[in-house]
Chains A and B, each alone.
Chain A
Amino acid sequence: MTGTIPLMYFLVISTLMFFIGIYGFLTRRNLITMLMSIELILNSVNINFVAFNKYLYPQHLSGHFFSLIVIAVAAAEAAVAIAIIINIYRNFKSIDVDKVDQMRY
């Protein structure tokens, strides 16, 4: 189904998505929206792995499994990050990174 689509299209999409995620990470001041930007970045990297796998090494499945593992790590990361965010909210009554300025409370 991808006969007419060059590899470069996928790479351009994932590059743009990666830098949009970085822009969000730099400008957002809320911990949850920063987490969402990180999910965008991870997702763009997954597209890259899968596209390289399909176009350059179609006889293997390495890129496919790499992105499968990245998805699992992202799920674990989101769970731990949200536990930490909820704990921060209990202690500071805010999840604004500018207000959370003490590691010790």
Chain B
Amino acid sequence: MNSELMFFILAGMILIFSVMTVTTRRILRAAVYLLFVLISTAGLYFMLNYNFLAAVQLTVYAGGIVVLIIFSILLTSHISERAVVAGWKQNLLSALSVVAGAALTLITMFNYTFTASSEPASGSSVKDVGTALVSYGDNGFALPFEVISILLLAAMIGAIIVARREKLKIEEKEIRREN
């Protein structure tokens, strides 16, 4: 009973705040509502007993990505700037297609019977997760771990290069002027 109540609170928060994220006119508020959605999702992970994943969700998503988004909002727009919204025609058409898509997915889902497995759950403590991340073989995830680290390195270098292009151009102009 208690866990059900907790689930409905988290689910309600997720749905309400995700609707507010996509409908509010103020961009900074949308970022804060997104933060609430991500924190409630971490609560769902805690309920499923995946503690490490919930901690990662809190630190990387709620702590990292939201701060990055807020920084970029402050760099590119005024603090109380109102978002431009699409015309009513586009709003209506998107709402219709979204409702149709959601209805189709839900109908398909309810017509399929998922049979829950009764096997004992494997441990999901931080120790088990860490062992699986660096081992290879049947239950090891060493290869995706290495691939993701290279991807992160490449993304960081790429982001730096993309963001500092302007500076290089100014230097080029100055060199040309000197010549």
B175 interfacial contact with A, CB 8 Å = no
Roughly how many angstroms separate A21 CA and B133 CA in the complex, as a whole number?
31
Partner of B61, one of A54, A74, A98: A74
A39 to B30, CA, bound (A): 12
Known: A36-B21, A58-B122. A73 touches B151 (CB 8 A): yes
Q: How far is B1's CA from A87's CA once the two chains are assembled, in angstroms?
A: 51
Chain B, 19-54, contact with A by CB distance < 8 Å: what is the 0/1 string? 101110001001100100110010011011110010
In the complex, A40 Cα to B72 Cα: how many Å? 18
Whether A1 contacts B47 by the Cβ 8 Å rule is yes
Residues of chain A having any CB pair with chain B under 8 Å: 1-5, 7-13, 15-17, 19-24, 26-30, 32-33, 35-37, 39-40, 43, 46-47, 50-51, 54-61, 64-65, 67-69, 71-80, 82-87, 89-90, 95-96, 98
Instruction: For the complex of A and B, list the 3 residue pairs with the smallest distance between their C-beta atoms, beginning with the closest.
Output: A24-B22, A76-B155, A26-B94
> Are A64 and B116 CB-contacts (below 8 A) given A29-B83, A80-B162, A83-B163?
no
Docked complex Cα distance between A33 and B23 (Å): 10
- A2-B48, A7-B114, A56-B116 known; 16 new pairs, CB 8 Å cut-off, are A1-B48, A5-B3, A7-B116, A13-B11, A19-B98, A19-B105, A26-B86, A29-B85, A33-B83, A55-B117, A56-B114, A57-B117, A61-B124, A71-B60, A79-B155, A83-B162
User: Are the C-beta atoms of B48 and A51 separated by less than 8 Å?
Assistant: yes
A60–B42 Cα gap in the complex (Å)?
20
Contact present for A59 and B117 (CB under 8 Å) = yes
Query: What is the predominant secondary structure among interface residues of chain A facing chain B?
Result: helix
Query: Do A43 and B129 have beta carbons less than 8 Å apart?
Result: no
A residues within 8 A CB of B3?
1-5
For chain B, the count of residues having a C-beta within 8 Å of the partner chain is 85
A61/B129 contact (C-beta < 8 A), A22-B101, A72-B148, A84-B162 known: yes
Q: Is the CB of B141 within 8 A of A43?
A: no
What B residues does A65 contact at CB under 8 A? 132-133, 141, 144
Residues from chain A with a CB closer than 8 A to the CB of B60 are 71-72, 75
**Does any Cβ of A come within 8 Å of B90's Cβ?**
yes
Contact B98 A85 (CB under 8 A): no
Pairwise interchain contact B15-A16, C-beta atoms closer than 8 A: yes
Cross-chain pairs A/B with CB under 8 angstroms, 25 sampled: A5-B7, A11-B109, A12-B109, A17-B15, A19-B105, A20-B18, A26-B98, A29-B85, A30-B84, A32-B76, A39-B69, A40-B18, A46-B41, A50-B48, A54-B48, A56-B117, A61-B132, A61-B139, A65-B141, A71-B60, A75-B64, A78-B68, A79-B156, A86-B76, A95-B77
